[in-house]
Amino acid sequence: MKMKRGLFIGALLALFLCCFHIMNQHYDELSRYQYANDENRKIILEYMTTEDINYLIDRQYKPEEFMEYLGMSNFNIRYVDWYNYAKNVGEMDAASILELVDVMKDQMSFSTFKVYCSNYSLAQLKSFYTEENAFVHEQTLISDPSSVTGKIEENTTLFTYTPKDLVEVSGIPIVNQIQGEETIQLSQGAAEELVNMCNAAFEINEKTCGNMVVTTGYISFDTQEQLYEEAVLTYGIDDVFNHVAYPGQSIYQLGNVVRLVVASVETTNLKEMELSPQQLWLIEHAHEYGFEFVNDPAQPLEEFILQYHEDLKQNNEEGDETQ
């Protein structure tokens, strides 16, 4: 009796193993992937692990969302959203996108990645994260330059950031102090409000722009690099930062910072520690146009460095409406 029972159990076990082997031979890992077909099935099975396929089934990505990357080095199905977001915001070949994402994914979230892509070109991001630059030494790339107020910290950089809405400032006194540069650019909002503020400053002394002159606006990374190298030759490396900012750390690169100076004839008659009429007027009115001082307005200044903030302008307008 025991022998018959053992033979019966053995037969069942053999039948189970045989059925399992047959089922395993015909098991289709992509049976739950709704977009699988004869064209993509073989490629997916060749380049994806079971774990990858399970992730694909869970997300149900369409073939056109990932097939062009399949088989490339650095491809990871878990970062398909990153690849396609980058592809949609700029021109870059698939291999370069994978290389860029492979570096950035370990340093930030997907939401932060999208912020970077909205403020920098893919070429700029690739250059910063995958290539060496003489003026980048372990600094963190500022993800949202529009959030920067005042000084740029030493451990951060704007790298080659360029504001998207730069326009030429016109209609007010301009003398660009950078050799070889005749025009001055600012972001559109800053340029428009600077002109409005200068026109209003006529009331100071009934002179154009209150006898103030715009001397500095947007400065590119390349121009700042040139200014820095010239300053090193002139002042030496130990004193250079008393005269010029490090490339990628100039607030003028933001495109919303402007420097105004008062005509020298206006300042010669001022007493020591006396604020000029122009400085007093800017302290009272600059915020009405969205500008605030970068340098200390409580001290007598020979130059006024102002930064434009769109939200400050909007807050003033909303305040005027409620009065």
| Residue 247: CA count within 13 A, CB half-sphere | 20
Q: Which residues contact 143 (CB under 8 A, 6 or more apart)?
A: 108, 112, 115, 116, 119
Output the DSSP codes for 45-94.
HHH--HHHHHHHHHHT--GGGTTTTTTSTT--GGGHHHHHHHHHHS---H
For residues 79 and 178, give the distance between their C-alpha atoms in angstroms, rounded to a whole number.
Answer: 45
Is residue 59 pLDDT above 70, yes or no? yes
The residue ranking higher by pLDDT, 106 or 13, is 106
The whole-number average pLDDT for the span 275-284 is 96
The pLDDT tens digits for 60-114 are 999 999 999 999 989 999 999 999 999 999 889 999 999 999 999 999 999 999 9
Residue showing tokens 């001397």: 215
For residues 93 and 116, give the distance between their C-alpha atoms in angstroms, rounded to a whole number.
Answer: 18
272, 286 Cβ separation under 8 angstroms: no
The residue ranking higher by pLDDT, 272 or 206, is 206
Please report which confidence band the pLDDT of residue 270 belongs to, taking 50, 70 and 90 as the band edges: low
Query: Rounded to the nearest 5°, which phi and psi values hold at 182?
Result: -100, -35
- DSSP class of 103: H
3-state SS class at 167: strand
Instruction: Residue 117: name the closest of 147, 85, 93 by CA.
Output: 85
Is residue 156 pLDDT above 80, yes or no? yes
| Residue 214: CA count within 13 A, CB half-sphere | 28
The whole-number average pLDDT for the span 162-191 is 95
pLDDT of residue 191: 98
Is residue 10 pLDDT above 80, yes or no? no
| Residue 6: CA count within 13 A, CB half-sphere | 3
Query: Rounded to the nearest 5°, which phi and psi values hold at 221?
Result: -60, -45
User: Which residue(s) pair with 212 in the sheet?
Assistant: 262
Please report which confidence band the pLDDT of residue 319 belongs to, taking 50, 70 and 90 as the band edges: low
Instruction: Give Cα 198 to chain centroid, integer Å.
Output: 31
Is residue 2 pLDDT above 60, yes or no? no
